Copies of this chain bind each other. A is one copy, B any other.
Amino acid sequence: MNQYGKVLTDVTLNDRFWNRFRETLVREGIPYQWKALNDQLDADAEPSYCMRNFRIAAGREKGDFGGFVFQDSDIYKWLEGVAFSLRWHPDPALEAIADGAIEAVAEAQQPDGYLDTYYIINGLDKRWTNLKDNHELYVAGHMIEAAVAYCQVTGKRRLLDVAIRLVDHIDSVIGPEPGKLHGYPGHPVIEMALMRLYGVTHEEKHLRLAKYFVDQRGQAPLYFEEEDERNQNRFFWRDSPLRYRYYQAERPVREQKDAEGHAVRAMYLYSGMADVARETGDEGLANACRDLWESATRRRMYVTGAVGSSEHGEAFTFDYDLPNDTVYGETCASIGLVFFARRMLLLEPKAEYADVMERALYNGIISGMQLDGKRFFYVNPLEVVPEACEMDAHKRHVKPQRQKWFGCACCPPNLIRMLTSLEEYVATGAGDTVYVNLYVGGRIREGGLSLNVETNYPWEGDVKLTVTGDAPWDGKLALRIPGWCGDWTLSVNGKAVKAVPCQGYAVLEGPWKSGDVVELRMDMPARWVRANTRVRENAGRVALQRGPVVYCLEEADNGPSLHSVRVGTEARAESRWEPDTLGGVVTLTTPGLREKADKPETGLYTFREAPDAEAVALRWIPYYAWANRGVGEMRVWIRA
């Protein structure tokens, strides 16, 4: 173990909240998405073509390439998710299907190791001519990630060998040596993928290539510019305010201070940067990550953990620009934020990183999936008026209901791999300390420690951690005190203990023996949230949060015209566990005022007092569960 932390991987989950999501995925989501990738959904769902492309590439079937240039990545993300799921939910039938998919992938691989069905079908002579936009390295990255996960869980090397051959091929084509392309991916992901591969192979070449992609990015002369000229590629963002910022390639990564451009690409790049920084001990690179983290999460993040303020480029815009109704907030971007957060947590154990991870997980990520696992949001708005999504072209990317599938279906399989691998986000270790980052029921094992965690989080704030196992353990136990938590108490074996949180963690010294019980009781009232006054869109508005869960008002509970609703922030919210609502949620009720709707005859503009308002009880539901009861308005930030 170097100076940095590591992920604790010997974790099993048994958590009331997450079990439901994960069982839905295993029962519905994974089979549903396999159908989708094989074009077996209803006719009104967008086709995928994904598996068909592999069959065509392998020569088993005739036809044209279908879908986006990065279509291959969908099966890789699905396979990665399947791999993770097999770890906690063995399923020989599913594994057999996955093995079959892996065979289809392997069959398409070219003798020289190349593997991307787009170019295999459309002509290999054009490969590697457009790293900027054509996603070959992106697809390869997801392939590598799937291969590592599948091998780690099942022990089967078939896909890993394919991946290693592909990486060897890439290494022969791209790199600093004369005669190679001095390029890097337009869409990052291969950086963190290579680092994961390196974690398994310990092959210097894999680390070196990851580091090259990170270091070379944005260097002058700009590879993308040269490439465009050489190959007469189109530069779609030429006249956009984004330009090369879209690709996080406007300058070398160590000089980047703001989270810019396409939000998913940004998050994936920063994750890879943090991986390289940790592995190589490169504090300059780590500092760049810190700057980018601050930009992304302290100035450019929604209260739901969504990132990406604009549909234009699915991108960041500028500091404190966080419109609720035209937001992009792609599910994948929040997932990427969690990737980034965990890696920052490994660079330094600060609870701030885990706070953001939690914010994204309990809000803007799981909002991406319908409760039945069969429909998905790509965009996760904080304010929706269905008529506007239909009639205002600039809000058409915002959907008032989840979709069955997408032509660009990055989000659904990303949700699978995120939620099936939740074990890897629970705890980290550094030195002799075990950091508990997420409060999730289950068991954490590390060295001599075995820690049983019981909680009804996020609905209740009590967490009971019981030490089990044979031998005493001498390390420290660091429990995150969440940013949302104002009051908490801690006891060990029934006795209150005081702990001054350090970087957001209450640290308890050992030694620990079997039977020791640590109890963390976090007071969890609903609290009004105010945005930094620099956020224009939220001026005079509040949101409501309880524990890590952000709430919203829906038309289904509160009628339409939610812009006419005001809250009284003096009153406390009543919370109630409703087991039969939305799969079981705590709902909140607060007093509010609803301004009486003018008649159209009132005219548009009048000189008069503020409109009359009547007292109403407002019913709030967790944001993540919105749009599960038909189409209607929804709003997170309410006038105060």
Interface residues of A (CB under 8 A from B): 240-242, 297-299, 301, 303, 309-313, 317-318, 321, 326, 385, 387-388, 390-394, 396, 484, 486, 527-536, 539-540, 543, 545, 561, 563-564, 566, 569, 595-598, 600, 602-611, 639-640
Contact = CB atoms under 8 A, between A and B. Distances in A.
Contacts of A543: 605
A310 B602 CA distance: 24
Copies in the complex: 2
Contacts of A321: 387-388, 391-392
Contacts of A596: 533
A299 B604 CA distance: 6
Nearest to A635: B536
A299 B326 CA distance: 22
A604 B533 contact: no
A385 B242 CA distance: 18
A561 B538 CA distance: 12
Contacts of A563: 536, 539
Given A299-B604, A532-B603, A533-B611, 15 more contacts: A240-B393, A241-B393, A298-B604, A310-B392, A310-B393, A312-B394, A317-B391, A318-B391, A321-B387, A321-B391, A484-B607, A530-B608, A532-B598, A532-B606, A539-B639
A530 B611 contact: yes
A527 B607 CA distance: 7
Contacts of A393: 240-242, 310, 312-313
Given A534-B561, A611-B530, A605 B303 contact: yes
Q: Which of A241, A318, A607 has the most CB of B within 10 A?
A: A607
Contact of A595 (B298, B391, B533, B609): B533
> DSSP class of A's interface residues: helix, strand, loop or mixed?
loop
Contact of A561 (B326, B531, B533, B608): B533
Nearest to A322: B604
Contact of A604 (B535, B536, B640): B535
A504 to B, nearest CB: 13
A395 to B, nearest CB: 9
B533 A564 contact: yes
Contact of A610 (B535, B609, B640): B640
A415 B321 CA distance: 34
Given A486-B607, A605-B529, A539 B595 contact: yes
A69 to B, nearest CB: 21
Given A298-B603, A391-B317, A566 B595 contact: no
A607 B528 contact: yes
A394 B391 contact: no
Counting chain B CB atoms within 10 Å of each CB, the highest count among A313, A393, A598 belongs to A393
Contacts of A603: 298, 532
A600 B298 CA distance: 8
14 contacts: A298-B600, A298-B604, A299-B600, A318-B392, A321-B391, A528-B607, A530-B608, A531-B605, A532-B602, A533-B596, A535-B604, A539-B564, A540-B639, A610-B640
Nearest to A543: B605
A534 B598 contact: yes
A311 B540 CA distance: 27
